[in-house]
């Protein structure tokens, strides 16, 4: 039986007919809806006559559209039907009017399918194809492609969609990763998502729900259902998805209609809209979540609504923990899903939720303490929801070669995992692909990658085993939650100012404050023009002089005077603080500067990230004071942050080569160069 590549290539060849009226990046506007339409036609073919007869009997009766759809769907044996007398065979009977017939054929579908083709915006493409005199040719060529489920099983149909979408997006130089995730990555995520739920899913009558808020063409939803059919056939998994890309949504919705999936209700499990501002599942909670949101996509267009929700609803809404930088909304998807977690209350049959999401490296460590990203990580980790992170190999995705990470987040950790986080480094678990697909040059190894006598490595099984073992090793490390937290402590140093009045500075000051001419002349006479390195003493003398002269300067005039006539000088005395409280109340006791409080120098301000498990005062005494003896900590500005640095925890030291080895290589290279020169000169 031909595989999905054969059918994808067959359909791809039809796209050559579009050359002229369409540019290659525009081919998907026609090819995806035509592929879906042909698939629907093949799926409905066995029951076509029965549906037409049933529709004829009910025509003119008191049937609502919804009731008629349900009745005809039952006759078709699907969640959709077509009551038009046309099909791909009959569409070829009238070439001159094929555009009208094709529109009529689509209008004969049930409402859910008509809605799909509205999102494909296919009516305009039909008109364009007809005007270019290629519509009949395209329909005829698709008629020759047999997409009946007996020939192309549902799983292969999904792979055909995947193959076509990847090709179309490569032509358009777009991000194919916005629409689907490599199947082996999805399988790994699904296996880990359900890893501890065998007992729960084996209970007769179990019904669970799963959401993908960035579902693309629905590959993750289909894979999750495949897993349950293979491992827990007695359980039912209702899957739901949302996407804001019209063609991706239409493809996913049609794919879900055709596949043998469990639907709760009328089959509108895939919904269109932006998950951030058009949450189609508002107020609904789910047992599982699975998604691969777009990497590095900004949320500038949605920021007004998102900020309003954060400000007005805080943690009662979705984004109370914080907002990431505008250039990457990945962590917004994570908060969106956590807001839909089922509570963990086994006594009320509430079993909590589990979530698997694909991220780039950015959400691991971007943003220091107090930033939106760090606050989101802090919220998740301090609530003990982050269970594990899996570092995948590079060059695994179609649209990017960067490293990617799978986060597992849950509010129902098993007892041994509580207050712990597991990091798995499986960046070396891959096999090279025989042929690159975009940026994808590697894949997780599977037994089918080798011949029967020498099967390939089963990397998915190996990662799942490491995950389940929950033990320290070369590729797995277990940490306490606090290991990823730190206190960002502000370290201050005293401001040291040198006073000196010069003619130029005097002119500059008097230009701004001409009313103080007499006072400035008196100060100039009293203090002279020599530099003085004790601003405290200088200002004390100036205040005495002004008091004798009965002069009262405004605060802004005093600030300007100091700004104009002083410069920082490391040899000067520290400037004493005035009317200022500081939490470094132990300054005098430790004798680090002086018995007085001192004003900090903003230019010398620094910060220390002190691990949460370390005593801050002891760290300061040990790590800072030996190098900066006049420093102090400003504890009122402390901020707690969290970051996860994989390279730090999995770093492998490679000792340098010996000098003798390097010297031998250099001599060998010199000898080779000399040999080549002799050949040339000869």
| pLDDT digit string, tens, across residues 615-651 | 999 999 999 999 999 999 999 899 999 999 998 889 8
Measured CA to CA, the distance from residue 470 to residue 417 in angstroms comes to 8
Measured CA to CA, the distance from residue 338 to residue 319 in angstroms comes to 10
Residues 6+ positions from 645 with CB-CB distance below 8 Å: 364, 365
Question: Is pLDDT at 346 greater than 90 in this prediction?
Answer: no
Identical topology for domains 4-171 and 176-360: no
Measured CA to CA, the distance from residue 600 to residue 501 in angstroms comes to 23
Residues 6+ positions from 375 with CB-CB distance below 8 Å: 321, 322
Between the CA of residue 164 and those of 288, 464, 625, what are the distances in Å? 29, 31, 63
Question: Is pLDDT at 587 greater than 80 in this prediction?
Answer: no
Question: Of residues 309 and 20, which shows the higher confidence score?
Answer: 309
Q: Decide if 487 contacts 612 (C-beta within 8 A).
A: yes
146-183 residue pLDDT tens? 988 888 887 788 778 777 776 776 665 554 445 568 88
How big is the chain, counted in residues? 682
Average the pLDDT over 482-492 and give the result: 95
Q: Which helix (H) or strand (E) holds 441?
A: strand 440-443
Measured CA to CA, the distance from residue 555 to residue 451 in angstroms comes to 85
Question: Is pLDDT at 119 greater than 60 in this prediction?
Answer: yes
Q: What is the pLDDT of residue 579?
A: 46
pTM of the model: 0.84
Q: What is the DSSP string of 384-427?
A: T-EEEEEEPPSS-SSS--S-EEEEEEES---GGGTTEEEEEE-T
What is the domain class of 176-360 according to CATH? alpha beta
Question: Is pLDDT at 583 greater than 50 in this prediction?
Answer: no
Measured CA to CA, the distance from residue 427 to residue 389 in angstroms comes to 12
Q: What is the pLDDT of residue 591?
A: 42
Tell me the H-state helices in 416-534.
Answer: 459-469, 503-512, 517-527
Measured CA to CA, the distance from residue 440 to residue 234 in angstroms comes to 36
- The residue among 252, 287, 290 whose CA lies nearest residue 271 is 252
Q: Are strands 236-243 and 270-272 parallel, antiparallel or unpaired?
A: parallel
502-532 residue pLDDT tens? 999 999 999 999 999 999 999 999 999 999 9
Which region holds residue 216: left if phi is over 0, alpha if psi is between -120 and 50, else beta?
A: left
226-262 residue pLDDT tens? 888 888 888 889 999 999 988 888 888 887 777 655 5
494, with CB counted inside 10 A (0-12, 13-18, 19+), is buried
Question: Is pLDDT at 589 greater than 70 in this prediction?
Answer: no
Average the pLDDT over 311-322 and give the result: 95
Maximum separation of any 2 CA atoms in the chain, in Å: 113
Measured CA to CA, the distance from residue 174 to residue 300 in angstroms comes to 19
317-337 residue pLDDT tens? 999 999 999 999 999 999 999
Q: Decide if 227 contacts 288 (C-beta within 8 A).
A: no
Question: Of residues 66 and 390, which shows the higher confidence score?
Answer: 390
Q: Which helix (H) or strand (E) holds 433?
A: strand 431-437
SS3 608: strand
Give the CA count within 13 Å in the CB-facing half-sphere of 197: 23
Measured CA to CA, the distance from residue 232 to residue 130 in angstroms comes to 49
Measured CA to CA, the distance from residue 105 to residue 91 in angstroms comes to 9
Between the CA of residue 225 and those of 163, 238, 381, what are the distances in Å? 21, 8, 30
Domain regions of the chain by residue span: 4-171, 176-360, 497-568
Q: Decide if 234 contacts 206 (C-beta within 8 A).
A: yes
SS3 476: strand
Q: What is the pLDDT of residue 262?
A: 53
Question: Is pLDDT at 2 greater than 80 in this prediction?
Answer: no
Q: Decide if 221 contacts 210 (C-beta within 8 A).
A: yes
Question: Is pLDDT at 578 greater than 90 in this prediction?
Answer: no
Q: What is the pLDDT of residue 1?
A: 55
SS3 597: coil
Q: Decide if 248 contacts 217 (C-beta within 8 A).
A: yes
Question: Is pLDDT at 479 greater than 50 in this prediction?
Answer: yes
Q: Decide if 564 contacts 509 (C-beta within 8 A).
A: yes
CATH architecture of 4-171: Up-down Bundle (1.20)
Residues 6+ positions from 272 with CB-CB distance below 8 Å: 119, 242, 243, 244, 246, 249, 280
What mean pLDDT is reported for the chain? Answer: 88
Measured CA to CA, the distance from residue 497 to residue 567 in angstroms comes to 5
Dihedrals phi, psi of 606, to nearest 5 degrees: -140, 175
Helix orientation angle between 28-44 and 122-131, rounded to the nearest 10 degrees:
110
Q: What is the pLDDT of residue 595?
A: 38
Q: Are strands 350-351 and 344-345 parallel, antiparallel or unpaired?
A: antiparallel
Q: Decide if 442 contacts 430 (C-beta within 8 A).
A: yes
Question: Is pLDDT at 586 greater than 60 in this prediction?
Answer: no
Cross-strand partners of 389 = 407, 423
What percentage of the chain has pLDDT greater than the value 90? 63
Count Cβ atoms below 10 Å from residue 574 Cβ, excluding itself: 22
Q: Terminus-to-terminus CA distance in the chain, angstroms?
A: 63
Q: What are 115's two structure tokens?
A: 């809605």
85-106 residue pLDDT tens? 999 999 988 888 999 999 999 9
Average the pLDDT over 422-429 and give the result: 95
Give the CA count within 13 Å in the CB-facing half-sphere of 658: 3
Q: What are 667's two structure tokens?
A: 């001599």
Measured CA to CA, the distance from residue 241 to residue 258 in angstroms comes to 15
Work out the pLDDT band at 585, boundaries 50, 70, 90: very low
Q: What are 207's two structure tokens?
A: 């019904």
Average the pLDDT over 572-579 and give the result: 84
Cα–Cα–Cα angle for 130, 136, 139, nearest 5°?
Answer: 115
Q: What is the pLDDT of residue 172?
A: 56
Q: Are strands 354-360 and 497-499 parallel, antiparallel or unpaired?
A: unpaired
Between the CA of residue 42 and those of 38, 148, 472, 645, what are the distances in Å? 6, 5, 53, 51
SS3 132: coil
Q: Decide if 119 contacts 249 (C-beta within 8 A).
A: yes
Question: Is pLDDT at 584 greater than 50 in this prediction?
Answer: no
């Amino acid at each position: 039986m031909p595989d999905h590549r054969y059918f994808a290539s067959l359909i791809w060849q039809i796209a050559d007919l579009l050359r002229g009226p369409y540019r290659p990046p525009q081919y998907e506007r026609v090819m995806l809806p035509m592929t879906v339409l042909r698939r629907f036609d093949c799926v409905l073919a066995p029951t076509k006559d029965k549906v037409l007869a049933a529709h004829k009997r009910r025509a003119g009766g008191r049937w609502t559209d919804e009731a008629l759809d349900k009745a005809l769907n039952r006759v078709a044996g699907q969640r959709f039907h077509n009551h038009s007398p046309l099909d791909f065979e009959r569409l070829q009977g009238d070439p001159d009017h094929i555009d009208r017939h094709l529109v009529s054929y689509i209008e004969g579908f049930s409402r859910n399918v008509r809605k799909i083709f509205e999102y494909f915006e296919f009516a305009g493409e039909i008109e364009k194809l007809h005007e270019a005199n290629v519509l009949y040719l395209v329909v005829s060529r698709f008629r020759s492609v047999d997409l009946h489920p007996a020939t192309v099983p549902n799983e292969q149909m999904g792979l055909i969609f995947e193959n076509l979408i990847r090709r179309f997006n490569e032509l358009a130089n777009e991000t194919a990763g916005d629409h689907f995730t490599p199947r082996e990555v999805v399988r790994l995520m699904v296996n880990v998502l359900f890893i501890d739920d065998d007992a729960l899913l084996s209970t007769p009558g179990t019904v669970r729900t799963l959401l993908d808020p960035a579902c693309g063409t629905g590959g993750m939803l289909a894979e999750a259902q495949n897993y349950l059919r293979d491992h827990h056939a007695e359980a039912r998994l209702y899957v739901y998805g949302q996407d804001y890309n019209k063609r991706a949504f239409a493809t996913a919705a049609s794919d879900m209609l055709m596949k043998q999936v469990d639907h709760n209700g009328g089959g509108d499990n895939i919904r269109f809209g932006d998950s951030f501002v058009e949450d189609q599942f508002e107020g609904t909670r789910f047992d599982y979540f699975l998604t691969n949101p777009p990497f590095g996509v900004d949320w500038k267009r949605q920021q007004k609504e998102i900020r309003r929700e954060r400000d007005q609803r805080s943690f009662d809404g979705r984004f109370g923990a914080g907002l990431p930088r505008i250039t990457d909304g990945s962590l917004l998807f994570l908060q969106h899903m956590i807001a839909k977690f089922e509570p963990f209350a086994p006594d009320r049959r509430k079993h909590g939720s589990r979530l698997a999401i694909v991220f780039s490296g950015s959400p691991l460590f971007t943003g220091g303490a107090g930033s939106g990203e760090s606050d989101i990580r802090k919220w998740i980790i301090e609530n003990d929801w982050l269970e594990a992170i899996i570092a995948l190999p590079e060059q695994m995705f179609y649209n990017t070669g960067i490293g990617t990470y799978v986060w597992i987040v849950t509010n129902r950790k098993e007892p041994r995992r509580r207050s712990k986080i597991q990091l798995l480094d499986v960046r070396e678990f891959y096999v090279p692909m025989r042929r690159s697909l975009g940026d994808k040059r590697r894949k997780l190894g599977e037994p089918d990658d080798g011949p029967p006598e020498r099967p390939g490595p089963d990397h998915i099984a190996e990662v799942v085993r490491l995950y389940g073992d929950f033990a320290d090793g070369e590729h797995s490390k277990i940490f306490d939650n606090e290991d990823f937290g730190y206190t960002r402590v502000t370290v201050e140093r005293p401001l040291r100012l040198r006073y000196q009045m010069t003619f130029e500075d005097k002119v500059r000051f008097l230009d701004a404050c001409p009313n103080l001419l007499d006072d400035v002349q008196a100060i100039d006479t009293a203090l002279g023009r020599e530099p003085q390195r004790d601003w405290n003493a200088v200002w004390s003398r100036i205040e005495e002089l002004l008091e004798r002269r009965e002069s009262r300067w405004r605060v802004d005039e005093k600030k300007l005077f100091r700004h104009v006539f002083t410069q920082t000088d490391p040899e000067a005395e520290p400037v004493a603080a005035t009317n200022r409280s500081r939490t470094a109340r132990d300054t005098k006791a430790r004798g680090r500067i002086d018995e007085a409080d001192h004003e900090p120098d903003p230019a010398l301000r620094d910060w220390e990230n002190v691990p949460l498990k370390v005593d801050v005062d002891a760290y300061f005494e040990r790590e800072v004071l030996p190098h900066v003896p006049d420093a102090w900590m400003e504890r009122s500005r402390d901020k707690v942050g969290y970051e996860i640095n994989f390279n730090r925890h999995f770093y492998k030291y490679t000792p340098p080569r010996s000098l003798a080895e390097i010297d031998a290589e250099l001599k060998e290279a010199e000898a080779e160069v000399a040999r080549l020169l002799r050949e040339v000169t000869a």
